Structure 1
Amino acid sequence: MASVVGKWKIENSDNFEEYMKAIGISDEKRATAHKFLSTGSNMTQEFSSDGDNWTMTTNTAAGERAFPFTLGKEMDSMTLDGRAIKVIFTVDGDSLVEKQKGDGFECTHVRKGDGNTLTMTLTGGGQTCIRSFSKV
């Protein structure tokens, strides 16, 4: 899983608005998400690992959020828009897979690094969003 480890800056996000609508994010929260999480926002995500124990740190203009997790262990968490979820991370080949389940929605985020590029594929509610990051 070394392909995901490192610090990544958002470069592009395709179909983000439709994806957020599909998983039930409110109009107000979608506007905030675009401001802090979309292309041009300077958002970064950093992944570090020590065996099965990982940390995902997200930095936005609104602040930093570190999320420690253990591969294969379901945990209680919150989405960035404040909804309670169950989340589990696993590895599938060379991809880090995050599955979220909340009240009325389920989604999957698959991250795969390739050199200086990280591709994140978000699926949920019948929509797919592709987000591209560059290595910092």
Structure 2
Amino acid sequence: MVDAFKGPWRLVDSQNFDEYKKAVGIVIRPTIAISQVYKKTIYIKLGKEFDEITADGREVKSTVTLEGDSLVHVQRWDGKETKIVREIKDDKMINTLTFEGVQVVCKYAKE
């Protein structure tokens, strides 16, 4: 199932992303690439916590798990937590991000 997530993805639609970015304190418009050949120095083992520097420069402790057909990515920093659930639907990657009651849904198309 993880293979379905591989490849570069471009943001094509989002709902409530501005509220999420404001709550977290970030300003980004992400492009995502998921690969088993790592071009960035983030090595993920499912279920194993790792150090991550986010696109906006936050240093977080992250854990990624496979739950059913979804990749669930939890980031923790300074007593805060955000959860990103990634799933594939109709050839789109749907990311649902939740932080302190603010939820955003972003749709990505494979490039």
State the 4+ residue runs in structure 1 displaced beyond 4 angstroms: none
What's the TM-score, normalizing by structure 2?
0.86
CA distance in 2, matches of 1:78, 1:98: 14
CA distance in 2, matches of 1:5, 1:73: 19
| Structure 1 residues 44 and 66: alpha-carbon distance in aligned structure 2, compared to 1, 3 A threshold | farther
Q: Deviations over 1:87-122 (max 9, x none)?
A: 011000001110000014201001111242110000
2:43 partner SS: strand
Q: Which residue of 1 aligns with 2:92?
A: 117
Deviation at 1:22, TM superposition (A): 2.1
Q: Which residue of 2 aligns with 1:46?
A: 33
Q: Which residue of 2 aligns with 1:82?
A: 57
Root mean square deviation, CA, Å: 1.9
Deviation at 1:68, TM superposition (A): 2.5
Moved more, 118-127 or 13-22: 13-22
Identity of aligned residues (%): 35
CA distance in 1, matches of 2:87, 2:19: 22
Q: Deviations over 1:29-50 (max 9, x none)?
A: 42xx2xxx1xxxxx5312123x
Deviation at 1:66, TM superposition (A): 5.3
What's the TM-score, normalizing by structure 1?
0.71
Structure 1 residue runs of 5 or longer lacking an equivalent are 38-42, 58-64
Deviation at 1:125, TM superposition (A): 1.0
Q: Higher Cα Rg: structure 1 or 2?
A: 1
Q: 1:13 touches 1:132 (CA, 8 Å); kept in 2?
A: yes
1:80 partner SS: coil
Provide the aligned length of Structure 1 versus Structure 2.
110
CA distance in 2, matches of 1:79, 1:48: 17
CA distance in 2, matches of 1:113, 1:119: 6
